Structure 1
Amino acid sequence: MPAAHSGWCVRICLPPLSSQYMHCCSGSNVPSSPPGVTALLSQSPVVHVIKKFNFLALPPANLQQFQGWQNSQPFPVCSMGNSTSRLYSALAKTLSSSTALSQHEEYLQPSDHEPLDPKDLLEECQVALQDRPARLHREFVQLQSDIRSPTFRVMQWNILAQALGEGKDNFVKCPMEALKWEERKYLILEEILLYRPDVLCLQEVDHYFDTFQPILSSLGYQCTFLAKPWSPCLDVEHNNGPDGCALFFLQDRFQLVSSAKIRLSARSLKTNQVAIAEILQCSETGRLLCFAVTHLKARTGWERFRLAQGTDLLRNLDSITQGAKIPLIVCGDFNAEPTEEVYKRFASSSLNLNSAYKVLSEDGESEPPYTTWKIRPSGESCNTLDYIWYSQNALQVNSALGLPTEEQIGPNRLPSFSYPSDHLSLVCDLSFNDCPDRS
């Protein structure tokens, strides 16, 4: 690795992302950058150097010129372990791949990701986190004993955008050291690797291209990302780009049939919240399923706005599933308690949806007491905001991951050295109510 630019990497920002968060600067802002890159930077009106995360970004117009230089140079990448680690290798391969540079608006997966063993990666995460306190202990609650059709695991999680965690959310009881990306990324990956979902739905993803897409692609997932049009992450100095929703599925379990990226509306006006909906075909049974991920508007006072967004999402999903002919699973941070109208709208919709985590309650009708628990300057908040909705006429919940107790979470709440987000992950195993022949 040339010493002249040691510790730096280049990330190509593909449209439409680049126009949303790049800012002007000159080539002189880049310490010891190679001459070819310096020339490109001084010519470009849209270049953003992000020193904290050790990479610079170039607009799509410079892809061809820069790619010729990059292919002739050994190139460093963002810190993700030492040079012998599997995480490091996966990221290095992605960032040095000419295939990766040629992908455009649809963010297709590079075809040459080296497969990685999830057990090895989990072990590596645990080694990296060995000085941290023990993680929250959670166990699955088994709900069905006579399961005749194949099961699939779904994970819903607002992982907390890095820029918001460090710059805007003001978790007054959480030490800044616990929020540093250098270790927090391992906690997030460890949680995903522990439960190994077949379908993974994430919100507040602002490290998609440099972390989640390359790593999860190497684990066999197909990946889709949709950024918020005006992400609050962009207001934070040294941000890593806009946050958004992401949907991942294991390609040995499902094949993609169709994908829709949705910008949610409220009374015909486009909003800042988004959703992804994908129809997948189960490899084992040949049956179709629709998975959707979303993140509705936050904060008290926006209840009617969330209702309008939720109504628009239901309208879109009704069309995509052909009037509920295709079974549906909707994962999201709805920023709404079960008493809110948007929750009631989902529970009473013609799509016949039920909330998966209600099965953990004694009466089967109550949501968990919390899915997020945090302390901010305004006070402590303990709320149920996250849900996995499913078509109850076609699917059943076989097991669900239990939630940690108040004692396990601790007096400083979330996030913490033991848990990387202010939201808890929701994980459940589902299956079809019946399993007809593929014919």
Structure 2
Amino acid sequence: MGVQHFIMLEFDKEALSVVNALEPKIKFKGSHRLTSKVLISYVVFTDNVALVVVLESLQNGSNRDAFQSRICVVVHLVNGLEKIAQSQQIPLIICGDFNSRPGSDPHNFVVKGRANCISEKANDPLGIFQYLKLQHSLSLVSAYSSFLHSDGVEEHRRKMNSQTSEPAFTNFTNKFFGTLDYIFYTDNSLIVESLLELVDLESIGNNGIPSPTWPSDHIALMASFRLRPPSHWRPSPPPFPLNPWHLAALR
């Protein structure tokens, strides 16, 4: 027991020297955190055989919308599916609410195959992100984005965002207006045959959704695909149909 206390006291001294070297504006917070945690360790962990230090950033440690939370979910999902798809040579369709706008890190990771987190908003002073596998080799394309390459659909282009090549919106509330939902597919193994027509903003009104007419705050997305023959699988873009908008429009 005495040895354990001695180790903790020595750890306290080492940690305190680090805290004392901090800038004055954060020195008090660090000292308070250290004192509180060491006191707790004396009371609770009296039979410990090891000490574990968990460090967090005071700037973004409690930010629920920080880079790490969303990009890690997407990275683990896609990398996991990549292992399955490559081992079995199967086509993939990934669809859902990604809670990420077009051009964001999660979106770029899916469609571009990589995300350069170091150059983005992420605060990574220790360079931890460089050891993460933020890339994949799947040929993933957004189904609605692929529509812009087709002909004879000028009527529907106004429902798309020309800068992002995604729908102008898929979520519309009194606090948010934009695109969060996607249908991604492997274009080397699948061909888009048809898409559900996007909703007119005028038909929803200015108050957002849900409403008595629209039961969800997200609009519906739908796509019909055709399999490429396995011998013709290739990474090049698929031959887009002349008019993919022949599914019934939402009314």
For normalisation by structure 1, the TM-score amounts to 0.29
Larger Rg: 2
For normalisation by structure 2, the TM-score amounts to 0.49
| Greater share of residues in strand | 1
